[in-house]
Structure formats: structure tokens, C-alpha cells
Structure 1
Amino acid sequence: MPRKSARLAALTVAAACSAASAVVLTSPAHADTVRIHDVQGDTRTSPLAGEQVTGVTGIVTGVRTYGSSRGFWIQDPAPDADPATSEGVFVFTSSTPKGVAVGDAVTVSGTVSEYVPGGASSGNQSLTEIVRPTFTVTSSGNPLPAPTAVTARSVPAAYAPAGDPAANGSINALPLRPTQYALDLYESLEGMNVQVSDARVVGATDPYTELWVTVKPHEHRNHRGGTVYGSYDARNTGRLQIQSLGKASDFPDANVGDTLAGKTTGPLDYNQFGGYTLVADELGALASADLRRETTRAQRSTELAIATYNVENLDPSDDTFAAHAAAIVDNLKSPDIVSLEEIQDNNGAVDDGTVAADRTMTALIDAVEAAGGPRYDWRSVDPADKQDGGQPGGNIRQAFLFNPARVSFTDRPGGDATTATGVTKIRGKAALTLSPGRVDPTSEAFDDSRKPLAGEFAFRGRTVIVIANHFASKGGDQGLTSQYQPPSRSSETQRHLQAEAVHDFTAKILKTQKNADVVALGDINDFEFSRTTELLEGRGALWSAIKSLPRSERYSYVYQGDSQVLDQILISPSIRRGAFTYDSVHINAEFHDQISDHDPQVLRFRP
């Protein structure tokens, strides 16, 4: 399931969760008149949480009139000398705030609350707010406090402190050290008016009118303008999410590598979908980098080209068939075999028991031919209804496209949703007992998740066994800005079981035929440096071929401004020893008008 689909589901319940997610961290009491920096304190949670405060003064720096978190930000124009204490705070009014405008001097009374976006179970940090407020405007038209510049120099190289073992790894109670840790710096500016200048876009504009920039132009930069996420220990500290307090129609359509030229200014917020976010009342002008979609080279006559492509919940009602076909024909140069992920059944998300996907596949095959490509054939195994996860009713599965003019498929019937394919030996060579067939479909490793699809192909007289995968998503993992450091990655548990199952199946093939050509590929939903990949590779049974690329070119997906690997093609030793080429073809992930959130991958080799 794409992470943005999970986000859409979360948005539908955001309003309902807002009240339940307010966490009172101390027993209610009463506090005398205080300043904003007293409310914020020098840790992530307010020392006055749960208390009534009166007479909190500040200048209104922004008013939010939309969404489930309506209210306004105020900032004290006379800061204290402590860089750890923020001088800004959000005043949550619930409904659209009335009688208050940017530049007003106000006096606010209310209850200090720590709101956890997404709820306490998300692991997110909390946002200090004043809730159930009453306020008085004492003057209008005041100059706003000068914005604090967030720059490459001001943001520390270290991302976050280690969590307190006595608090289950939470950093909430640790004193903020804004000169040592990036997350501490951002927290010390929570609610304040901040500014970035000439910031490069590292995450394209999404359907929720958000984008990501970096204030560190050289931090893990790739040649297309993104920031590569290449290690759990090398997080990109310069990333910030940008939203706008203006009209959605005025938000720029930006691609990775573009620049928000000039100044982007506004309050620094913290939200469920990315953590620290500059909510801009002034947006820099979009300066295009003219990023182009990549095109790979065509395979030579003696090369077998195998691709993996997540087509993001494709079903017959979609209007993206022509675009996907053009990508396959023009950008991927019509690979001989294409492993497709997220093929939905014939009526998509309609939940009526339909599981067949022949209409979906035929529509794509027709579109490819219309785009000037070959007339592909296809193979797949229909899932059992509602057993493979993904969009409810969609019954997503993997499917093979193959060009019968270049490669043949070895059909061995009997495969269905719950019958496992095995490994046998035919004329001294490894072969599948069922082709197409599913790998270990009844294992708990694949509960509510896509089952691997194995197929046996022949190219120029040589057998190639291909295993198409779509591992469990990262849904449920704590975000990089979590209050728990390092964040928990609970979704790995299932992917590790899945990786072991696919590795063990590959090992059976190689035990039967040491020099067998095996390719395991797909949306692995994990990084090339992850434990998931290590388990897949095992002791040399497979190797992730994306690691043949320079580190700066290893990515297939962009999430929260991090260019990262989710899609992989793993190869057996016989392929690795020979001549092969690998290409991550960047046509989607870096663009605001993407037809999928994944970039396809292509492997070429001589079997």
C-alpha cells in the first residue's frame, strides 16, 4: 500500500482524533501570568502542561482557517536569552478564528496542552498549544518579529540525541541542545516565525499541497537535485516540509531540483505527516531546474531485459493506461519481462468478491501496443478475496508481462491462491513445479500481504526463473522526527519473515542447480542497506543489483524529501558473475505529476 494512501485514510480521521490526541502531561493546576518562553520551556514538553495560564502576550504571526487544526500563532517580540526556549506558540481555537489578524498584539488565556499529531501510539512528538482560549486584541498593524533564518550553518550535522533508556527511548524530557542536534534546533523554534532562502526542492509537490526543501544544498545531494537517504546513521538534517497559509491554487507545482527562490517565511509547525513544517505566509518564487524524465537504453539482441514497475493500484477505471504504456515503451524501451506490482482486479476498489484482473491486464497490453510497443502476453495468479492487503476491494497482485517475440513462458498448470509452487529437476536443470505459481502462500509471513509470484521463462534456450515480490509496507513505523530515537521500525518484522521465505526458495533452486539464473525483484518496501535486504541476499544466494550503482544514484522513491530505495532487483551468482547493467529509471518519484510514486528498475544481462 503506498504510504500516501495510508495518509489519505489518516486524514479522514484527523478531526476526530484531534481532541483524543491531546495529552496532558501534568496534573492540572493554576499558573500566574507567564510569557511564551515559560509555556514552551527548554524541553519538548511544556513545564506548564495541563495548567491554566493567563495574560500570555504576543504578536499574531499567522492565522490558519482550514483543516482540523484551526487557530493562530503568536510570538513574543521580546525574547529571553535562552536559545532552547521557543518564543512562539500555537493557539488552538478549534473553529475558524474570528476577530484576529496577522500583526495584532494579543493577550491570551487558556490551558496549556501537548497535542500529539496522529495520537500517542504514533510515537510522534507533541506540539505545545494553548487550547480553549480567550483572547483580547490590544493593538493592530504591529510589525512581525523578525524571522529566524534556518540555514546550512545554523542546522547541526547530528540529527537527534539518543533517547532516554529510562523513558523507553523518548527524547521528550531531555534538555534541548539546539546547537548540537537538528531536531533540537527545530523544536527550539516551534511556533516561531522562521525563514529559508533560495531553498532547493527535494520532495515534489504532492496532492496535499506540500513539498520538501533542504537548507543544506550539499547534504547527500544527487545529480538530479535530491537528497539521498543511504544509511540509518546518516539522516538528512536540512529537510523541511513546506505548506502554505494561502490558497491551494497558489501553491507551486514543483519538482525535485527546483528552487523556491528568495524568501519563504512563516510559523514553524509540527504535524503528523512529516514533523517540522514551515507554514508559509510568504513563498519563494518557483525557479525550475527543468528536470527531465529519464530514458534507459534498449537491450541488445543477446541481452535479456527484466524490469520491475509498481503501477500504483491500476484498474480499468484509471486514466493512466496510456501514460504507463508510454513509460514502458519510451522510457523503459519495452523490456522483455516486466514484473508489475499493484495490479488491481477488474473493478478496482469495488468490494464485491471480484478477483480476476484480465480486463486490467488487457487494457495495459492494448495501450502498450497502441504506443508502438510489442504485443505483450501475461501471467499471474489471482489472489483469494481480501487476503493480500492493499486498497480494500482492490485485490492487488503481481503480474508478469512478457514479449513472446523475445522470450517464452514455461506453463506448468495448477497454481492458485493457496497452492505453493516448488522446485524440481528436469533434464538436470532446476524447474518450477507450478508456473506461474505462488511462493509459500499460506505462510504467516504473507498474512494480509502480497504473495510472491514465480515464473519460469526461456530466452535463447536458457531458463530464467523470476520471482515477483511486493513486501509488506512500512505502515506503522515511527517517523524520523519521532519522540523515540532511534525510531521503531515495527513493520520490519513481517518483511524479515518474507525475505527469509523468498531466500529459502531461491536457495532450493540453487541447491538443485548451482548455476541457475534467478531474479527476485519488485517493491521490497525496504532499503538496500536494510536487514530485509541482508536476509534476502543470505550467504550469496542473491545480491541486490542496485548496489552496482554509485551511492548517489541508488533510489526509486522519494519520501519526505529523502530519495531512497524501495524497489530492487536481486540476482543469483551466475548473473552477477557475468556482464549485466542496472538502471533506476527516474520517471515518477521526483515529479509533481507522477503516474506512480515509484520509479521502475531495469536489469539487462546475457543468460
Structure 2
Amino acid sequence: MPSPFSSSATPRNAVVLSAAVATALAAGLLAGSTAAADPADVRVHDIQGTTRISPLAGQTVTDVPGIVTGVRGYGSSRGFWIQERTPDDNPATSEGLFVFTGSTPTVRAGDEVKVSGTVTEFVPGGASSGNQSLTQISRPTVTVVSSGNEIPAPVTLTSRSVPSAYAPEGDPAAGGSVNGLPLRPRAYALDYYESLEGVNVRVGTSRVVGASNDFAELWVTVKPHENRTPRGGALYGSYTSQNSGRLKIQSLIPLAERPFPTANVGDVLTGVTEGPLDFNQHGGYTLTARTLGTVQDRGLKPETTRPQRGGELAVATYNVENLDPSDPQEKFDSLARAVVENLSSPDILALEEIQDNTGRTNNGVVAADQTVKKFTDAIIAAGGPAYDWRSISPVNNEDGGEPGGNIRQVFLFNPERVSFTDRAGGDATTPTDVTGQGSRAALTLSPGRVDPANPAWEDSRKPLAGEFSFRGETVFVIANHFGSKGGDQGLTSQYQPPNRSSEVKRLQQAQSVNAFVKKILKADRRADVLVVGDINDFEFSATTKALTDGGALYPAVKSLPRKDRYSYVFQGNSQVLDQILTSPSIRDFRYDSVHINAEFAAQNSDHDPQVLRFRP
């Protein structure tokens, strides 16, 4: 006898559509949106249709047949996937579909079911995220017809089946959205994945391009030769050169039954990984594995940069990821060992994300002396130098980051090799300036903040400028932590190309720093100036172009071989966020992006430090 069960859970934002798409649906402008379907004879491919939006969105469907291919019994998106036994002959219409139950499903993979409910388009992250939507059935009533059936054969994702072109241009009439465009799965990777939304798919042995994380996910590529880095990643080299072979892997297997594997970039996920293709908020298309392969360790090791020679000044930048005294001593010790062993104890080290003495506790404390002391003590214990330090505390909760954390940049320097030129008066709101004309430049405040009242720095870290002396030569260092990419649309957004709204602020910040560097160079065209830090943008971005305007600066990362230009790995893309830029007088230098974190499951920070050595 069939065994029915039903769920009355509230659907996740039932139908969440952009205004443009909603208007198009109402006007019948989307492909298939005016098709009349007999609710008693609807199949999965009828629901999915030939665009990203179901032609039946908002309608009730009855007894949609399918085989259960996967069950998700955890998290806020509980439900299961079904797949049509007898597909149609249209490659654009998916044969798989998610059924959102809201509670732990009682069906099992291999059950033959009939599902009734409301067809909805759920946008992970909400409509404001710009994400594509997931077509699903909500408020389901489910009848199990039989059990133990063979699961439909998987579609294997390969380097040949996934198109190299990433996404079509969005429709200008729909605000740049691709939602209403007919799917072209043989032309575009995102269209291909969308045509398989909810379908049982498989990847064979594949290289890991994004390390496993605390959310039990990793990234692989099905295109082994696509923009491969020497260490096994997938380089993100331009806005128009996407890595279409990237795919996120999650597991449907309860962690109590099988812990998620630990994987670093360059490792290999061997064997068969198979399950329904989902779409979620962080990363888009995701293989939710019913069967998970085995990780083969390829032995990736952290890099070590060479020590500076006697006449070389070594300047480094390192984002230490919200460091505060409440962090475990092991984090301090690991970061300290990295400074001493992997970075070879640079002469000057600009740190980003040093939090105040009470960390994320929002209590008005802004001083960070205890944080810095705990770190510098750990460096001494690791065999490094007794670094001195300079910084300026922000106004409470005025510089962004975690509320109460008051992150800021800090200069560490080795007084055995470098001296700091102190000029008093610098505080959170008083700008430093430049004096001198013709042959000698100096900062009016050292340390001092650059242009702190500029609206570009509102709710963001203000640049920290310092004047150093090395073997009698003056070196200016400006430590930065530009605004984050928060609010940008993802690469799998319904809007193509995606809107990078956060770039507007970073562009203004770059213009502010560029103007200050030009002040120094006007006072002394031969001045040695280094702009360092977490720029939060790519070497090919408008932000970097603004920093270099007028030839004031050169992005030193461009001196590296192209495939070694990265400091961060995000969603399987190896990319540049951290940079050191040099003034024209610094011509002969050696640059190193020291890969010790971003490619690894075990991280001291999510950024790789950068080191530049030169002779002032």
C-alpha cells in the first residue's frame, strides 16, 4: 500500500522574484509562461521549463511523478530531490526538482513518489542578493508508490560537456537578468548547469581547487587544464576569463556516519562523487553528494620566502584575521612561526585586522596594546626578533569589521635593522600631511592617518602612514585595508555580468591613497614609497588602476609569473586581494606571494602574506 505523508511547513519565501521577472511573468514574456498545463499531468520537465523561471511558478500541481535521488535531512533547507523516469527530448529542460519539506523527510533514495504542492522560485539569500532562484515544490503532499527502485543514471560532468563560455549577457530589458532568456546548455556553463538543476549528476576523479572548510564543503574542477596554477588551483585572471569547470561539493551523508574529508588545493577527489545538483546562496551550483569520493593527499606544503640579504629591506603585509587576546594561544603561536619561518622575519611587517584588547566585545575599548604584545611575545618565543610597533587606535566602531572589534593596521618593525621616525600628534581623526619640496619629503605626523575625513573611509579602515629609516635612507610605508567585497553579486548571479557595487568605495579609497602618494612624490620624486595591505581587489581591477594613476605606483604582484598571482582562494578561484605597490624609484625588487594559508584546510588566516625586498 502506498504510504502518504505531508508537510505543512512554511515555504522559504515561496515566490521570491525580481520586479523585472515578476512583470515578465505577468505579461507572459518568459518562454513557456503562457503554456496551459493540466495539473493532473504535469511532469518535472514541464515545471522546470526552458528558462530559469518555471512557467508554472505560483501554480498548484498534482501527483508529479519521480524517483527520489537524494534526501537532505539537516539545515534550514530540508527536503528531497526527485527525477523523471522518462525524460523529454529537450536538453534545456531539467528532469530533476527539489521538494522543500521544511522538516526531515521520511522518503529514501530510490522511492518512487507522487508529489503535489505549489511551484515556487526560491532565491537563496533573498531577492536583494541578485542570486538566481531554485525551482521547487513547496507545501508538498507526498505519496510513496514503491521503494528500492534504481536511481536514474547520472549525467557525468566533464571537461568536454561543460562549455568554456561562462554566462550569456543579461537581457537589458530585464535589468541585465538572464532569468528570462532561453537556456543554451551547449553554449554557456551556467545554462548547462541550470539545465541540470536537481538532476542526478556525477564527477569522476577531479582536482581540488578550493580547500575543505568548516561548512563541510570543497571545490573541484572538471576541467583539469583550465587556468591551472603551479600548486593546483584555478587562477582567476580577469572578469571575462571565468573558470567554468569549478563546482562545489557538499555531502548528503550525515557527518556522524562519515566525516567530511579534509582536502587542500591540489589534492584529488578520487573515485565517484554523485548526487543531485543543487543551487544555494554561497557559490551557486553544488553537487550534493549521495556518494562521495575519497581525497588523495598530493602533499601540498606551505611556502617559505628567502631571508633578506644585508643591504636589502624586507617589507611584508599580512592580514591576521581578527586577531585579539581571546584567541587561542595556538593561533598566536602559529602566526608567529609563520612570521619567523615562512616570512623569514621581515624588517617591516604591516598587519591588518588587529582587534582591540577585548576583541568582539562591544564595550568601548579601542586600545590594542595587549593584542600586539601577545603577538610580538609569540614571535620572540618562535625565535624571531623583538619587534617594536606603531599604530593609531580608531574611534570606537567607526572603522568597520566586527562590531566592538575595532580592527586596525599595525606596523611591526625590527629595531635592530630599521628605525621609525616618530612625529607626534597623530590620532584617529587628524590627517598626516607631507612637507618638503624638491629633494626631501617628510610626514607631518608619523604614524599618521591618511585623509581620514574623506567620505571614502566612512565605516572603513583608514590608511596608516609611517616614515622609516634604513641604513640612512628614508622609506615611506602606507598600510591599508580597503573596503570588503560585501554586497557584490556572485559569479552565478541572475545578473550577467554581476554588479560589483563594493568597487565604488574602493575606487574612491584608491584615489585618496594615490593623491597622498603624489604629494610625497611632488616633494621628492625619488622618494621610496610602498603602499601595502589588504586592498580587497584584483590586480586588473579599477581599484588597482586608480592606485597606479599617473605612474605613481606599480603593482609588484605583476612582476610574478601570471599563474602565481594570487593571495586568496574564494569559491575555487585563486585570486589577488593582498598587494604591495611601489613608487617609481623602487625598480629593482624581489616580490613573493607566500602561499601558507589560502590553499589549506587548516589556516592561521584566510590570506597569504606578501613580501617585497629591495635596496633603498
| TM-score bin, normalised by smaller chain | over 0.9
**What is the identity, as a one-letter code, of the residue corresponding to 1:559?**
F
Match of 2:13 in 1: 19
> 2:205 is paired with a residue of what secondary structure?
strand
Match of 1:286 in 2: 295
Q: CA deviation at 1:84?
A: 0.5
C-alpha contact (below 8 Å) 1:17/1:119 kept by paired residues: no
Deviations 1:506-539 (CA, angstroms, capped at 9, x unpaired)? 0000000000000001000000000000000001
Match of 2:4 in 1: none
> 1:136 is paired with a residue of what secondary structure?
strand
Q: CA deviation at 1:332?
A: 0.2
Pick from 298, 312, 318 the counterpart of residue 303 of structure 1: 312
Q: Is residue 393 of structure 2 the alignment partner of residue 382 of structure 1?
A: yes
Match of 1:494 in 2: 505
Match of 2:415 in 1: 404
C-alpha contact (below 8 Å) 1:21/1:118 kept by paired residues: no
**What is the identity, as a one-letter code, of the residue corresponding to 2:120?**
S
Looking at structure 1, the residues matched to 246 and 369 of structure 2 have their Cα atoms a distance apart, in angstroms, of 43
C-alpha contact (below 8 Å) 1:21/1:120 kept by paired residues: no
Looking at structure 2, the residues matched to 51 and 17 of structure 1 have their Cα atoms a distance apart, in angstroms, of 14
Deviations 1:307-345 (CA, angstroms, capped at 9, x unpaired)? 000000000011200000000000000000000000000
Q: Is residue 49 of structure 2 the alignment partner of residue 38 of structure 1?
A: no
**What is the identity, as a one-letter code, of the residue corresponding to 1:85?**
T
Match of 1:74 in 2: 82
Match of 1:512 in 2: 523
Looking at structure 1, the residues matched to 213 and 175 of structure 2 have their Cα atoms a distance apart, in angstroms, of 34
Are residues 20 and 102 of structure 1, via their aligned partners in 2, closer, same or farther at CA, if it must alter by over 3 Å? closer
**What is the identity, as a one-letter code, of the residue corresponding to 2:454?**
S
**What is the identity, as a one-letter code, of the residue corresponding to 1:472?**
G
Of 481-490 and 15-24, deviating more is: 15-24
Of 219-228 and 31-40, deviating more is: 31-40
Pick from 84, 87, 91 the counterpart of residue 95 of structure 2: 87
Q: CA deviation at 1:250?
A: 1.5
> 2:373 is paired with a residue of what secondary structure?
helix
Deviations 1:195-240 (CA, angstroms, capped at 9, x unpaired)? 0000110000011011000000000001100000000010100000
C-alpha contact (below 8 Å) 1:161/1:485 kept by paired residues: yes
Match of 2:490 in 1: 479
Structure 2 length as normaliser, TM-score? 0.94
For residues 48-197 of structure 1, the aligned pairs below 5 Å read 48-98=56-106, 100-197=107-204
Match of 1:602 in 2: 611
Pick from 428, 439, 449 the counterpart of residue 438 of structure 1: 449
Structure 1 length as normaliser, TM-score? 0.96
**What is the identity, as a one-letter code, of the residue corresponding to 1:274?**
G
C-alpha contact (below 8 Å) 2:305/2:344 kept by paired residues: yes
C-alpha contact (below 8 Å) 1:389/1:450 kept by paired residues: yes
Give unpaired runs (5+ residues) of structure 2.
1-8, 27-32
Q: CA deviation at 1:16?
A: 11
**What is the identity, as a one-letter code, of the residue corresponding to 1:55?**
D
Q: CA deviation at 1:125?
A: 0.2
Deviations 1:125-169 (CA, angstroms, capped at 9, x unpaired)? 000000001010000000000000000000001000000010010
Give identity over the alignment, percent.
Answer: 67
Are residues 371 and 77 of structure 1, via their aligned partners in 2, closer, same or farther at CA, if it must alter by over 3 Å? same
Pick from 594, 607, 610 the counterpart of residue 585 of structure 1: 594
Q: Cα RMSD between the aligned structures?
A: 1.5
Looking at structure 2, the residues matched to 21 and 557 of structure 1 have their Cα atoms a distance apart, in angstroms, of 36
For residues 331-480 of structure 1, the aligned pairs below 5 Å read 331-425=342-436, 428-480=439-491
For residues 515-526 of structure 1, the aligned pairs below 5 Å read 515-526=526-537
Looking at structure 2, the residues matched to 486 and 18 of structure 1 have their Cα atoms a distance apart, in angstroms, of 27
Q: CA deviation at 1:33?
A: 2.2
C-alpha contact (below 8 Å) 2:15/2:57 kept by paired residues: no
> 1:575 is paired with a residue of what secondary structure?
coil
Are residues 16 and 533 of structure 1, via their aligned partners in 2, closer, same or farther at CA, if it must alter by over 3 Å? farther
Pick from 206, 212, 223 the counterpart of residue 219 of structure 2: 212
Are residues 21 and 420 of structure 1, via their aligned partners in 2, closer, same or farther at CA, if it must alter by over 3 Å? farther
C-alpha contact (below 8 Å) 2:323/2:354 kept by paired residues: yes
> 1:420 is paired with a residue of what secondary structure?
coil
Q: CA deviation at 1:22?
A: 3.6
Match of 1:4 in 2: none
C-alpha contact (below 8 Å) 1:20/1:119 kept by paired residues: no
Looking at structure 2, the residues matched to 358 and 247 of structure 1 have their Cα atoms a distance apart, in angstroms, of 44
Deviations 1:5-51 (CA, angstroms, capped at 9, x unpaired)? xxxxxxxxxx9993377449557998342010000001111000000
Match of 1:12 in 2: none
Deviations 1:319-377 (CA, angstroms, capped at 9, x unpaired)? 20000000000000000000000000001000000000000000000000000000000
Are residues 88 and 427 of structure 1, via their aligned partners in 2, closer, same or farther at CA, if it must alter by over 3 Å? closer
> 1:86 is paired with a residue of what secondary structure?
coil
**What is the identity, as a one-letter code, of the residue corresponding to 2:326?**
S
Match of 2:30 in 1: none
For residues 562-577 of structure 1, the aligned pairs below 5 Å read 562-576=573-587
C-alpha contact (below 8 Å) 1:192/1:267 kept by paired residues: yes
C-alpha contact (below 8 Å) 1:297/1:332 kept by paired residues: yes
Looking at structure 2, the residues matched to 375 and 21 of structure 1 have their Cα atoms a distance apart, in angstroms, of 60
Q: CA deviation at 1:444?
A: 0.3
Looking at structure 2, the residues matched to 88 and 16 of structure 1 have their Cα atoms a distance apart, in angstroms, of 22
Q: CA deviation at 1:112?
A: 0.3
C-alpha contact (below 8 Å) 1:160/1:184 kept by paired residues: yes
> 1:227 is paired with a residue of what secondary structure?
coil
> 2:45 is paired with a residue of what secondary structure?
helix
> 1:305 is paired with a residue of what secondary structure?
strand
Looking at structure 1, the residues matched to 189 and 145 of structure 2 have their Cα atoms a distance apart, in angstroms, of 36
C-alpha contact (below 8 Å) 1:423/1:508 kept by paired residues: yes
C-alpha contact (below 8 Å) 2:158/2:203 kept by paired residues: yes
Looking at structure 1, the residues matched to 99 and 14 of structure 2 have their Cα atoms a distance apart, in angstroms, of 17
Looking at structure 2, the residues matched to 234 and 595 of structure 1 have their Cα atoms a distance apart, in angstroms, of 30
C-alpha contact (below 8 Å) 2:437/2:522 kept by paired residues: no
Match of 2:325 in 1: 316
Match of 1:272 in 2: 281
**What is the identity, as a one-letter code, of the residue corresponding to 2:298?**
A
